[in-house]
Amino acid sequence: MASFINVVALRTIHGRSWWGAERSRCEECRQVLRLPDLIPLFSYLWLGGRCRYCGNPFSAGYFMVEVAGACIGAAIAWKWGLSWASCAGFVLGYGLLLNSLTDIYSGYVYDFYAWIPGATVFLMRFAGGTEALLDGLAGAALGFGFIAAVILVSKGGMGWGDAGLTGGMGAALGWKLAIVGIYFGLMIGGLTALVLLLSKRVTRKQALPLVPFLALGGMVALLAGPVVLGYFGIEAGWPWVQ
């Protein structure tokens, strides 16, 4: 999944289509890569991170994205097993990964990709009944409204793609877990920004991509959110039942 999502992200930011018959090539020698060169994780390790044909090093980013994808899948399956929660979790987790990658690579969130994960999980909510659907609507309104308010107050800094993605995260998580996700996302992002500023790795004028932090917050909510809510005696709602 992560290997595929990385291709989608890279081709999208370069304005190429990711569907159809275009083969993956070495960026240096343009040699078409064959199946043994394209096995996620293993090919990179086996070939020492280099092109088999010209010896040019491949970006370690490919490997890191594949590791991240394996961790997302394993963590969700471990936490939720065979359930609607896992289905929703996979869609949201990999959707967040895709949007994080386009944001990291190009500083841009694509509206279509931002809306797809939330819309897909919202459709799943029909299986949970009226209460689950209302929970999704409330989560979408909360996520979208929160970022929209930040955009209107700060006049920049965040974009409507961020609002769409956070709305989608809310639709998938439901409003209670959405609060957990946004809270942890902003905390992780804020602390990271503080460390980068204090260590002078960035200046106040520089923009940091926001989506990866929101995505981390969303993953915290997916994996630990129901436990966090449990401390306050609150149930997370469908499909997040233990």
Q: Does 58 bind Zn ion (CB under 5 A)?
A: no
Q: Does 43 bind Zn ion (CB under 5 A)?
A: no
Asked if 6 and 62 count as a contact pair (C-beta separation under 8 A), the reply is yes
Note if the bond before 117 is cis, omega within 30 degrees.
no
Does position 54 bind Zn ion by CB under 5 A? Answer: yes
Among 2, 5, 51, 140, binds Zn ion (CB under 5 A): 51
Does 183 help bind Zn ion (rule: CB under 5 A)? no
Among 11, 50, 53, 104, binds Zn ion (CB under 5 A): 53
Q: Please tell me the distance from the alpha carbon of residue 166 to that of residue 215, in angstroms, as a whole number.
A: 9
Closest distance to Zn ion from the beta carbon of 27 (Å): 8
Q: Phi and psi at residue 32, in whole multiples of 5°? A: -65, 130
- Smallest distance from the beta carbon of 67 to Zn ion, in angstroms? 23
Strand partners, 50: 57
Answer yes or no: are the C-beta atoms of 157 and 121 closer than 8 Å. Answer: no
| Contact between 26 and Zn ion per CB under 5 A | yes
Size of the site for Zn ion (CB under 5 A): 7
Q: Partners of 32 in the beta sheet?
A: 25
C-alpha span between 24 and 58 (Å, rounded): 13
Residue 29 interacting with Zn ion (CB under 5 A): yes
Residues 6+ apart with CB under 8 A from 197: 203, 204
Binder among 8, 24, 28, 160 for Zn ion (CB under 5 A): 28
Residue 64 as a binder of Zn ion (CB under 5 A): the answer is no
Amino acid, res. 19: W
Q: Segment contacting Zn ion (CB under 5 A): 4-12, 26-34, 63-71, 182-190?
A: 26-34
Shorter beta-carbon distance to Zn ion: residue 28 or 133: 28
- Contacts with Zn ion by CB under 5 A lie at 26, 28-29, 51, 53-54, 56
